[in-house]
Amino acid sequence: MVVELISSRDRTRARELIEQSGLRFEENFQTLVGVFSGGTLVATAARDRNVFKMFAVRADFQGGSLLGELVTELVRGGYHAGFQSFFVFTPPRTAPSFRALNFTPLLNHHKVSLLEYGNGLADYLEKHRPLVRQGQNGAVVVNCNPFTLGHLYLIEEAARRVDHLYIFVVREDRSIFPFEVRYRLVSEGVKHLRKVSVLDSSDYAVSGVTFPSYFLKADDDSQALQIELDLVLFAKHIAPAFNIKKRFIGTEPYCRTTRLYSEEMHRVLAPFGLETVQLQRKTRDGEAISAFRVREALRREAYQTVQRLVPPTTMEFLRSREARAILERLQSQQRRH
Amino acid sequence: MRIRQKAQAGTMQSSDLMVFLEPGDELRIDIDSTVKKQFEHLIRQQVETVLARHGVTTGHIRINDRGALDYAIIARVEAGLKRACE
């Protein structure tokens, strides 16, 4: 029987089992479950939001029903927590065991396989089918924290170079402006443009899925690997569905992670026949416009500067009552993104 | 009967299935199965029969099957319905 492991003693046992299996124990999870036999823990697994991880089954219990039991329990808990589909990142050699449990492979990399339980990706594509346009289309993936004249410029320039432009707004809510607001400001800011569509990136572009690195070796660069997987996912599943042939990015002066991402993009997308187009950023007062710059100005309450960096739609929001709480948080907090 | 709330029944063990039910404006049945190619139509038929027997005409039902036999499908769908319609 699968039970939830709550006590620190049980968690220590789980950690030992995971480490004995050559994996690393990660602290971030919502649920840790396990199976005991004769007083010893023989199988364990964890769920972090919609990601399953740290599956470990003692060697003499492998090949039986335990994996199915663990998955059942994690699916049950995750479903009640409001998730419809689930991801599992595993070493490629264990991917077949998950396929037998009806997980669909989303991508295979020589270091990691990503599989999905449920129809998340298919549902996502189905939901957006009305937006599909024929032609040579393009895509930008943007966070827009918040939407600036720089974003608008990038989008306008990109839209001129393709038949239709898809604007994927990053779903992940780690930004000071919540997704709903970011999405709305983008939609309002591009309303005057024909031939563009604004979409929720969901978990499939610059994913909010926390990439677990529990099975990677210490010298593997998990950040670089995550970026690569993210781009392959885009190239394999998203781009073909929307006839996307070009992906646009702005030159990145500030953020190291974003710059690393841009550099990887050329390398990873090319083999899929996708062109990466880097566009020079729009400048104002001799400096590139960025959301970072806007946030800094907001922090200093330099609203005249802000006004020079954002479109009227964003400015209107920043002046609204709704924005007040966000601005207060921004001023009390120092964050990178 | 009417599906009023989210509910789930069954397991991912071999020869079993998991059923997920949610309220919805129309009837939608999604089936995922390790034997989907061969048996999707028969699984669907079983699910539809159970739903019809209970007069369920709306809702979103997802089946994740690992080669369950008919009686298991019927039992799991019924259990799920009872939880969803309470």
Amino acid in position A310: V
B66 touches A at CB < 8 Å: yes
Confidence of residue B40 (pLDDT cuts 50, 70, 90): very high
pLDDT digits (tens, 9 = 90+) for A301-327: 889 999 999 999 999 999 999 999 989
Chain B residues within an 8 Å CB radius of A102: 12, 32-34, 64-66
Which pTM was predicted?
0.84
Is the ipTM value over 0.90, yes or no? no
The vertex-A143 CA angle with A139 and A147, nearest 5°, equals: 100
pLDDT band for position B47 (50/70/90)? very high
Query: Do A117 and B64 lie within an 8 Å CB cutoff?
Result: yes
Q: Count the residues in chain B.
A: 86
Per-residue pLDDT reduced to its tens digit, A155-199: 999 999 999 999 999 887 778 899 999 999 999 999 999 999 999
The verdict on a CB contact (< 8 Å) between A68 and B6 is: no
For residues A313 and A188, the answer to whether their CB atoms sit within 8 Å is yes
Q: Do A69 and B65 touch (CB under 8 A)?
A: no
Banded model confidence at residue A111, pLDDT cuts 50, 70, 90 = confident
- Going by pLDDT thresholds of 50, 70 and 90, the confidence category of residue A337 is very low
Q: Report the range of poorest mean pLDDT among A8-12, A149-153, A231-235, A255-259.
A: A255-259
Task: Please give the pLDDT value at position A91.
Answer: 87
Report, as an integer, the average pLDDT of A39-63. 93
For chain A, say whether B39 makes contact (Cβ under 8 Å). no
State the nearest Cα–Cα gap between B11 and chain A, in angstroms: 5
Flag whether pLDDT at A214 surpasses 80.
no
Residue listed under structure tokens 């966070």: A143
Give the mean pLDDT of A130-141: 93
Would you state the pLDDT for residue A317?
A: 93
* Each residue's pLDDT tens digit, A232-253: 999 999 999 999 999 998 887 6
Share of chain B above pLDDT 70, in %: 100
Is residue B13 within 8 angstroms of chain A, CB to CB?
yes
Residues of chain B contacting residue A75, judged by C-beta atoms under 8 Å apart: 12, 18
Indicate which of A102, A123, A124 best probes the interface with B, i.e. most B CBs within 10 Å of its own CB.
A102
Please identify among residues 78-97 of chain A the ones whose CB lies closer than 8 Å to any CB of chain B.
79-80
Nearest to A115 by CA among A77, A67, A80: A67
- The pLDDT value given to residue A209: 63
**Which candidate from A69, A76, A79 shows the least CB-CB separation from B13?**
A69
Nearest residue on chain B to A82, judged by CA atoms?
B6
Nearest to B12 among A71, A80, A119 (CB): A71
**Contact: B62, A117; criterion CB under 8 Å:** no
